[in-house]
Structure 1
């Protein structure tokens, strides 16, 4: 048994997750009833990640800022620019693809009892109010905007603290990071449980009638991940971007696909940044911030489903309005985490741009919930993997400017 465990630990995490994925598919297809109890493994894994992530962010950011030396440069401006650029280009890509491949759909009921925000101002207001949320409440509700704010403020206040205090905070931060490592070791079993739950609960029958819509949605997200994002990376580094892109998709995107939670994937992304030897001062802030504002997948969802509603109702759209939709979807996507229901509940807001009544828009949201098992998985995978990709891109660009040699193949 000891030798078996030793051999298992020698296998890379990605291969371990692949094994868990294959076993999960086999069990859920061949013996679904017997496999059903294993669903608890997925719930435990996601629950553990969600529980540790807020504490990890609080102490990592607080420790990084408290020990930050004056004059030491970080990459936050570059990272935020890449986040916003990527989200806007995602919305624009989705608009262009929706015009090339127009999709109509059968509107669905089932979202009438949900309240969508009334305008962009309401979305941004929610986001701003989250900044001044009670710190304990912010941690309890996994409000990362609030957690980041308090962590930054506490870190700044502790800059003048004694070395003993700073060492204590650093030790707690390291201890929480170690706990994250323990949780991530259970990823193969967690992914196995999540796969079993997904296949035995949802199946694929309910998705078949929305195949064309799903094809456009998922196609846009693949195009962003494999074409647009690599172009952004190449424009910054002038090197083949794909080793880094595939590394991020493999080690971040796969777990995000199954957990369907950017928040739950924060610990995974932190470990990947550490593996890529990135600056802790930068990624300890940029990764949780990315889980809040880097929402390329959400921008795609909002644009595609809104234009599907437009095509279904036979509304004519001119180019200026389409560009406005790209900007609106990017702004809404950045505020998606501040709204209960995420990107889907921001669709009525985008629909209002075309004069689509709220009751019809909420039927589009109903369609979103039907296809959500795949839409949300691909959306989260794109969002979360891009957090690491853009953080690494900004870091490597800075090193190149400093005259250091960076070989993406070796790093990734």
Structure 2
């Protein structure tokens, strides 16, 4: 048994996760009743990640800003530009694909007990109110915009604190980061539990009737992940982007796919940034910020499902309106974290651009909930892996400008 554990620990985390994935699928298909109790491993893993992530973000950002030296490069401007550009292009691609492969739906009963926001102003208002949320409440509710805002303010306030105070905060930050590594070591068990839950609870039969819609949604997300994002990284770094893209998908996207939570994946992404040798002062801010505003997958979901409603109702759409939808979906996607229910509940807002009644739009939301088991998984995987991708791309670009040679294969 001791030798078995030794061999297990010698495997990379990615290989361990793949083994957990395969075992989970086998158990869920072969002995679903006996495998059902193992679902608890998935719940514990996601719960631990969600529990530690808010505290991790608070101390990492506070420590980074408190110890930040004047004139030190952080690359945040470039990262935010990449986030916004990636989200807009994802929405645009989704609009183009939706016109090339129009999807009509059989409408279902609307989502019950949920209320969509009334307009973009309401979405942005919610986002801004989250900035000034009570700090304890922000941590309790995992409101990362609020956590970031208070961490930045506390960090600035501690700039002139004694070195002993800064050292203490840094030690807390390091300790929480260490705890994260312990949690992530249980990823194979967690993924196994999540796979068993997904297969035994949801099944795939209910998704077959929405095959074309899923093909368009997932096809758009894969195109963004493996064509659009690599193109953005190439123009940013002037290096072959695929080694970095594949590593981000492998080490961030896989866990995000199964946890279906950008918040739960923040510790995973920070660990990956550390392994890539990125600047801690930068990624401690950019990763939680990306979990809030870098929403390419959400932009795809909003655009595709909105245009599915348009095609179902036979509404004619001109090119200028389609471009406006791309911009609107990007803006809505950036505000998705401020709305309970995420991207699906922003569909009525986008649908109002075409005069689609709210009751019809909520029926489209109902379809979204049916396919959510796959739609949300791919969406979260794209959103979360792109946070690390663009953070790394901005830093590699800065190193290139400073005359430092960057070999992307060696970097990853």
Pairwise TM-score range, normalised by the shorter structure: over 0.9
Per-residue CA deviations over 1:335-368 (Å, capped at 9, x if unaligned) read 0000000000000000000000000000000000
Structure 2 match to 1:235? 235
The answer for unaligned runs of 5 or more in structure 2 is none
Scaled by the length of structure 2, the TM-score of the pair is 1.00
Any residues of structure 2 matched to 1:284-303 within 5 Å, and which?
A: 284-303=284-303
Q: For 1:389 and 1:108, how far apart are their aligned partners in 2?
A: 37
Aligned partners of 1:110, 1:14: CA distance in 2, in Å?
Answer: 40
SS at match of 1:160: coil
Q: Is the 8 A contact 2:278 2:392 kept in 1?
A: yes
Distance in 1 between the 2:113 and 2:365 partners?
11
Contact 1:112 1:363 in 2 (8 A): no
The answer to whether the 8 A contact 1:91-1:296 is kept is yes
Pairing 1:166-177 to 2, within 5 Å after superposition: 166-177=166-177
Cross-structure match for 1:50: 50
Partner of 2:194: 194
Secondary structure, aligned partner of 2:106? coil
TM-score, structure 1 length as denominator? 1.00
Establish whether residue 28 from structure 1 lines up as the match of residue 28 from structure 2: yes
Matches of 1:134 and 1:169 in 2, distance apart? 21
In the alignment, does 2:95 pair up with 1:100? no
Contact 2:110–2:364 (CA under 8 A) maintained in structure 1:
no
> Secondary structure, in 3 states, of the residue corresponding to 1:55?
helix
For residues 2 and 172 of structure 2, the distance between their equivalents in structure 1, rounded to whole angstroms, comes to 31
**5+ unaligned residues in a row in structure 1: which ranges?**
none
Q: Secondary structure at the match of 2:263?
A: coil
Q: Contact (CA 8 Å) 2:57, 2:147: kept in 1 or not?
A: yes
**2:88 paired with 1:88:** yes
What residue in structure 2 maps to residue 386 of structure 1? 386
Instruction: Quote how far apart the aligned CAs of 1:110 are.
Output: 4.0
**Corresponding residue of 2:279:** 279
Q: CA deviation at 1:3?
A: 2.1
Runs (4+) of structure 1 exceeding 2 A deviation are: none
Give 1:88-167 correspondences, 5 Å limit.
Answer: 88-167=88-167
Q: What is the match of residue 270 of structure 1?
A: 270
| Corresponding residue of 2:258 | 258
Q: Report the equivalent of 1:376.
A: 376
Q: Is the 8 A contact 1:17 1:187 kept in 2?
A: yes
How many angstroms apart in 1 are the aligned matches of 2:309 and 2:203? 26
Post-superposition Cα deviations, 1:51-90, rounded to whole Å, max 9, x if no partner, equal: 0000000000000000000111110000000000000000
Aligned partners of 1:73 and 1:341: how far apart in 2? 36
| Aligned counterparts of 1:71 and 1:354: Cα–Cα separation in 2 | 48
Shift of 1:43: 0.2
Deviation at 1:113, TM superposition (A): 2.4
Residue 112 of structure 1: how far off its partner (Å): 3.6
Q: Look up the SS of the partner of 2:262 in the other structure.
A: coil
Query: For 1:406 and 1:7, how far apart are their aligned partners in 2?
Result: 34
The residue that corresponds to 2:367 in the other structure is 367
Secondary structure of 1:350's aligned partner: helix
How far apart are 1:2 and its partner, in Å? 2.4
1:330 aligns with 2:327: no
Corresponding position of 2:37:
37
Cα contact 2:117–2:123 (8 A) shared by 1: yes
Residue 4 of structure 1 deviates from its aligned partner by: 1.7
**Separation in structure 1 between the aligned mates of residue 327 and residue 364 of structure 2, nearest angstrom:** 20
Contact kept in structure 1, 2:28 and 2:196, CA below 8 Å: yes
Deviations 1:125-177 (A, max 9, x none): 00000000000000000000000000000000000000000000000000000
- Rounded Cα–Cα distance in structure 1 between residues aligned with 2:113 and 2:27: 36
- For 2:306 and 2:403, the matched residues in 1 are separated by 46
Residue in 2 aligned with 1:68? Answer: 68
SS at match of 2:363: helix
SS at match of 1:137: helix
1:91-141 deviations in Å (ceiling 9; x for gaps): 000000000000001111141421000000000000000000000000000
CA distance in 2, matches of 1:107, 1:274: 46
Aligned equivalents of 2:73, 2:38: Cα separation in 1: 47
Is 1:112–1:359's contact at 8 Å kept on the other side of the alignment? Answer: no
